[in-house]
Amino acid sequence: MAITAALVKELRERTGAGMMECKAALVEANGDIEAAIEAMRKSGQAKAAKKSGRTAAEGVVMIQITDDGKQGVMVEINCETDFVAKDSNFLEFAEAVTAAALSGGVADAESLAGQTLADGSTVDAAREALIAKIGENIQVRRLQRFDGTEGALHSYRHGVRIGVVVELVGGDETLGRDIAMHIAASNPLCMNADQVPAETLDKEREIFKAQALDSGKPEAIVEKMIEGRMRKFLEEVTLLGQPFVKNPDQTVAQLLKQAGAEVRRFTRLEVGEGIEKKVENFAEEVMAQVRGN
């Protein structure tokens, strides 16, 4: 069967693949466009599986919140390089996935993989197709969902790498965005001192005790030094104890009290946090090649 330009064009529109790849698939399928699509899907799955072991620690954090501020999602989608993180195809995929996450009601990234996008494909099928097209490992890594909201959800994104969603009762949109921006900048561990994990407190206390004992001060003074440093530590790691970034003369707790508002919860995601990145030493790599020659 003759492979016409119209047939190639139709396959490109349906798959988003390049012209030469579409033509080759049609030749292989003897002009059967459905068979060509199936073969390309299988090829995309094979490429995705091959690249799945490669570190994907770049990417974007996307946020979508309903107009009434009662529901929202925050999604981290990873790729291998900053270059691809800025690619229009990658960003369109990220936006489509986030919209599907909000409308689909799923609670985690694993469930999100089977959700249907606006074009009829599943998230995972679209991800595999994008891997085949772009040539990098792409992963939908994390999904945070916000439902059952008593107050209103507010958000802030620092570039594309850091995203924050805050549930605020009382206050207004400006305060909500300011609090979200503060969290993006200051990265609090939790809301208040009661929420700091006991193991974290024990670890910090041990460090402060060792430092205080090294000072040679009397035991009574050492205990006061430890308690003082623990108070300062709690101020630094809790949202309510931190000085507000826009006005360090008042704490976030004081700002909220002044506005008659309360933060019920917050989530901060940063691209790649917790992923062990491969550190390239190009000088050593070159020397190894020189020695091998």
Looking only at Cα atoms, what is the longest distance across the chain? 93
Q: What residues does each domain of the chain span?
A: 5-51, 52-148, 193-257
Per-residue pLDDT, 137? 87
Q: Give the pTM.
A: 0.74
In this chain, the answer to whether the domains covering 5-51 and 52-148 adopt an identical fold is no
Per-residue pLDDT, 210? 80
Q: How many CB atoms lie within 10 A of CB 92?
A: 13
Domain 193-257 has CATH 3.30.870.10: no
pLDDT tens, N- to C-terminus, the chain (293 residues): 678 888 888 877 766 666 777 788 788 888 888 887 777 666 654 444 454 557 678 999 999 999 999 999 999 999 999 999 999 999 999 999 999 999 998 999 999 999 999 889 999 999 988 888 888 889 999 999 999 889 999 999 999 999 999 999 999 999 999 999 999 999 999 999 999 888 988 888 888 778 777 777 777 777 788 788 888 888 899 999 999 999 999 999 999 999 999 999 999 999 999 887 655 544 555 555 555 54
Per-residue pLDDT, 290? 54
Contact 132, 47 (CB under 8 A): yes
Nearest to 78 by CA among 135, 140, 125: 140
Query: What CATH architecture does domain 52-148 belong to?
Result: 2-Layer Sandwich (3.30)
Per-residue pLDDT, 291? 57
| Topology adopted by domain 5-51 | Helicase, Ruva Protein; domain 3 (1.10.8)
